[in-house]
């Protein structure tokens, strides 16, 4: 099918040579344990405290989530309220950014990115069955419009919504609101599974562990365009994070 896409100036969070397959990332983790995608349903309920093991279990559920869309879940154009939507399906192919990935009528793995998304996997599945669109890619226009660019006719999760779900927050906290509920860490070496690296008004990802016990390289859970428009686990070098203004943070409600 033909797809129309708007010009997109995507941010680049990870150098392409550093992107690893999820399976490799899991193999090199040194400081966290992963679980299956099925977790205790109570973990989706808001809580004032969250264990690090719970954070990782929730993150893994997003990465491993299996779902099957149809053509009805695709949109490249305006939604019913005039908001531009580009679902990150295989048809999405911007000339200067990251292409889409999911296929209709097939099993896909990983919850798709949606600008302003805050869905649990179960909420996402229900929305897809109702005919909502599966995800909505980030664009420079959406960054400028901010909340006015959020489509109620799409389902999925964005980077800060993902972190908020992993921390069992009752509502999503944006990248510029994280400081209200977190404490800064002095160095990336202090990170523990469930902590985050954040750049205000840009992007945030969840720390999972150090690659091969090497503090120079982090394994993170991420939702965004690098390396795909979905929840993934991959490698990123600390040097790159420092150069681009990312900082390590710890949620005040997390417990060991």
Q: pTM score, two decimals?
A: 0.88
**112 neighbors 243 (Cβ within 8 angstroms):** no
Provide the pLDDT confidence category of residue 10 given band limits of 50, 70 and 90.
very low
pLDDT in tens, 61-78: 999 999 999 999 999 999
What are residue 218's DSSP bridge partners? 210, 236
- Average pLDDT for residues 215-219, to the nearest whole number? 97
Using a pLDDT cut of 90, give the percent of the chain over it: 81
Write out the H or E segment, with its range, that includes residue 244. none
**57: three-class secondary structure by DSSP:** helix
What's the confidence (pLDDT) of residue 16?
Answer: 36
* Structural tokens at position 6: 């708007």
What's the confidence (pLDDT) of residue 37?
Answer: 52
**176 neighbors 242 (Cβ within 8 angstroms):** no
Residue 32: pLDDT over 50: no
Instruction: State the DSSP code for 136.
Output: B
**199: three-class secondary structure by DSSP:** strand
pLDDT in tens, 103-154: 999 999 999 999 999 999 999 999 999 999 999 999 999 999 999 999 999 9
What's the confidence (pLDDT) of residue 14?
Answer: 42
How many CB atoms neighbour CB 83 within 10 A? 18
Of 160 and 17, more confident: 160
Using a pLDDT cut of 70, give the percent of the chain over it: 86
């Amino acid at each position: 099918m033909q797809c129309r896409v708007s010009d997109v100036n995507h941010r680049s969070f990870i150098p392409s040579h550093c992107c690893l397959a999820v399976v490799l990332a899991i193999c090199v983790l040194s400081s966290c344990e992963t679980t299956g995608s099925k977790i205790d349903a109570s973990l989706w309920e808001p809580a004032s405290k969250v264990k690090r093991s719970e954070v990782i279990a929730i993150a893994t559920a997003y990465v491993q989530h299996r779902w099957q869309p149809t053509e009805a879940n695709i949109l490249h154009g305006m939604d019913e309220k005039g908001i531009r939507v580009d679902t990150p399906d295989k048809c999405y192919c911007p000339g200067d950014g990251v292409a889409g990935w999911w296929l209709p009528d097939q099993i896909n793995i990983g919850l798709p990115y949606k600008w302003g998304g805050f869905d649990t996997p179960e909420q996402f599945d229900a929305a897809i069955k109702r005919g909502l669109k599966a995800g909505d890619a980030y664009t420079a226009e959406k960054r400028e419009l901010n909340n006015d660019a959020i489509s109620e006719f799409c389902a999925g999760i964005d980077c800060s919504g993902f972190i908020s779900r992993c921390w069992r927050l009752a509502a999503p906290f944006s990248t510029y609101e994280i400081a209200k509920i977190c404490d800064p860490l002095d160095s990336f070496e202090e990170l523990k599974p469930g902590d985050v690296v954040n750049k205000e008004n840009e992007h945030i990802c969840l720390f999972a562990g150090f690659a091969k016990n090497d503090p120079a390289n982090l394994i993170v859970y991420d939702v965004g365009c690098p390396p795909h428009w979905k929840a993934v686990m991959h490698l990123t070098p600390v040097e790159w994070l420092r150069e681009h203004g990312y900082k390590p943070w710890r949620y005040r409600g997390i417990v060991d």
